[in-house]
Amino acid sequence: MIQLLRIELYKIFRRPRTYISFGIITAIVLVIQLAMLSDGKSFLSFIMSGVNEQFDIQGNVLNGYLVTYIILQSLLIHIPLLVALVAGDALAGEANAGTLRLLLTKPISRAKLVLVKFTSSVIYTVLLIVWLAVVGLFGSLALFGQGDMINLKSDAFVMLLQHDVMWRYMAAFLFATLAMTTIASLSLLLSAFADNSIGPIISTMGIVVVITILSNLELPLFDKIKPYLFTTHMIGWKGFFDDPIPYGAIGFSALVMFLYTVGFLATTIFYFNKKDIKS
Amino acid sequence: MRKLLGILAVCLFVSIGTIKASDADKLYYSLRTKVLSVKDYTADVRMKIDINRMRIPQLKGTLFFKSPDKMRLERHGGLSILPKKNINLTLSNLMPDGKVTVIDMGTSTIDGKKLRVLKVIPEDELSQIILAKIWIDEANMLILKTETTSRNDGTIAMDLSFGKYASYALPDRVIITMDVKDYKLPKGITLDYNDVPTPPTPPGEKKSKTQKGTIQISYLSYDINKGISDDKFKDKE
C-alpha cells in the first residue's frame, strides 16, 4: 500500500500541472497582499463604515491576520478548482493515457487502487493548504505585522486579541483541509465516471459553483435544503473566528462534510469495482 | 393681620427657595471646580465593552486624558476602541460648563445612600449638552451618577464608584450606558457562516435601530496632573 502510494505521489508531483496550483495560490495571495498594501485603508474604511461612525478604532487594524482572512475568503471558489485539477485526473487521467487497464493487471484490488488515489489526492490537498498557510498567513504577517484581529460579520463586529488568533488559524486550516478533502472525493467520483480528465475537473467546478450559489441565495425556497449542501458547510472555518466559537455548528459542518466524503468515496469504490475498463 | 401673615409666608417660601437654589448652584459649581482640578491623567485601565452585536474581549491598556476633551486609549501594540461621541465620555465633559441653571430636585436613595439630585441646564444655546441630571454624595462631595442628554448622542448615563482617588473626584470604576446605532453589512461582502439563524422579529414589533450599550472602565492606578503632550492624542497607525 505504501509502495503504491509512493508511486501515486511520484506521478502527481512529476506532472508540471501539479505545481501550477501552487503557483496560482502564490499569485492570488500576492495580488491580494499587494492590493491591500496599496489600497487596503480605503477598503477597510468601506467595510468598517458602520463601526467607524460610532467608534474610534486606533492601531494596526490592517494587520496580517485580517489580510489572511480576506485572502481565505477570496479563495473560497479557487481552491476547489485546484484540488479538482489533481483529484479529477486521478482515475480519468489513467484511462485517458491508456494505463488504467495495465495498472489493474497488477495484484491489487480496485478498492485499494481507489483508496490510494484518494489518499494521494488528500496529501496533495494538505500540501496545498500548508502552502496557502505559508504564503497567506506567514507572508501577510511578515508584510503587515501582527495585531488584534477584527472579524466583520454582516451583523456583528468581533474583535480577537492577538494572542488568541494563531490557534484559530491552525484550526481553520485543518477545517479547510477537511472541506477540500470532500471536494477531492467528489472529483475522484466524477473521475471514475470519465475517460478524460477535463470532464471531471469541469464537472467538479460546475457542481461547486452551482451549489455555492444555492447555499448563498437568501431565498426561503432553498432554506430547507441548505443545511444538507456541503458548500454551506465549507465556510465552517469562519466559525473559529467568532466569539464565542460555535463548536456545535462547526462540529455539525465537519460531520456533514465527513459523511459526504465517505459517501463519495464509497460510491467511487462501488462504481469502479463494477466498471468495465476498456482503456 | 391675616394679610400680613400671608405676605410673611410668601416671603418665607420665596427666600427658602432662593437659598435652596443658591445652595444648589454653590454645590454644583464647587463640584465642577473639584472635577476640573484634574488637568490630565494617565491611568492603567481595564475596559469591558458590552454592546449588542459587538463582541469585544476585555481590553487592558493605558488611558490618557487631557482637559478639556482629549482622550486616548493605548494598548501596547493592540487595537484601541473608544466610542466616537461629540462629547467626551469623562465626568468633566458630562458636566455642562459656562453659565448654567441649576434646579434642586431633592434627594434620592441609591444603594442605601441618600443622594442630592440636581438638574443642570446650560444657558449657552450652542452647548452640546441639553440637560444633565446628577446624583451627589454631599458628605464626600462626589458625583455618583449622571444622566446627560446631548444634542447628537442621545442620553449617556454614568455610574461611578470611588476609592483611593476620591479626593481628585477620579473614580475607580465607571459604567457608561449609552445609545448605540445598529449596524449591518451586506452578506455578499462577508459571506457569513450562519451558525445561528437570526430569530424573526415578532409581528407588530418594530426592530429598534438604536440599542443601549455599556462600557465598564476599571481604573487600576492614576498618574495625575503630570502633564501630557498634545502629540499623544494625535492619530497614529
Please give the mean pLDDT across all residues of chain A: 89
Quick one: angle between helices A198-216 and A78-87, nearest 10?
150
Stretch 34-63 of chain A: residues touching chain B, C-beta under 8 Å = 47, 50-61
Contacts of B50 in chain A (CB under 8 A): none
pLDDT at A132: 93
Is pLDDT of B170 > 60?
yes
Comparing A199-203, B12-16, B40-44, B101-105, the range with the smallest average pLDDT is: B12-16
Gap from A216 CA to chain B (nearest CA, Å) = 8
Band of the pLDDT at B235, cuts 50, 70, 90?
low
- Distances in Å between the Cα of B221 and the Cα atoms of A130, A236, B78, B163, B170 are 46, 43, 20, 11, 10
CB atoms within 10 A of CB B120: 21
DSSP string, B12-76: HHHHHHHHHHHHHHHHHHHHHHHHHT--EEEEEEEEEEEETTEE---EEEEEEEETTTEEEEEBT
pLDDT at B200: 46
C-alpha cell at B102: 441649576
| Reported pTM | 0.82
Contact across the interface for A156 and B82, Cβ inside 8 Å: no
Question: In sequence order, what are the beta bridge partners of B134?
Answer: B118, B146
What is the helix, strand, coil percentage profile of chain A, to 5?
Answer: 75, 5, 20
- Distances in Å between the Cα of A225 and the Cα atoms of A179, A181, A228, A235, A239 are 19, 22, 6, 16, 21
How many angstroms separate the CA atoms of A170 and A135, rounded? 14
DSSP string, A128-171: HHHHHIIIIIIHHHHHH----EEEE-SS-EEEE-GGGTHHHHHH
Band of the pLDDT at B79, cuts 50, 70, 90?
confident
Band of the pLDDT at A244, cuts 50, 70, 90?
confident
How many angstroms separate the CA atoms of B147 and B78, rounded? 31
Query: Does the interface ipTM go beyond 0.85?
Result: no
Which residue is listed with cell 475498463? A277
A93 and A47 Cβ atoms separated by less than 8 Å: no
CB atoms within 10 A of CB B138: 12
Could you tell me if A77 lies within 8 Å of chain B, comparing CB atoms? no
Is pLDDT of A70 > 70?
yes
Which residue is listed with cell 502629540? B231
Signed CA dihedral, A9, A12, A18, A21: sign only = negative
- The contacts of residue A63 (CB under 8 Å, 6+ apart) are A141, A144, A145, A146, A147, A148, A149
Gap from A52 CA to chain B (nearest CA, Å) = 8
Q: What is the pLDDT of residues A205-219, one digit of tens each?
A: 999 999 888 887 777
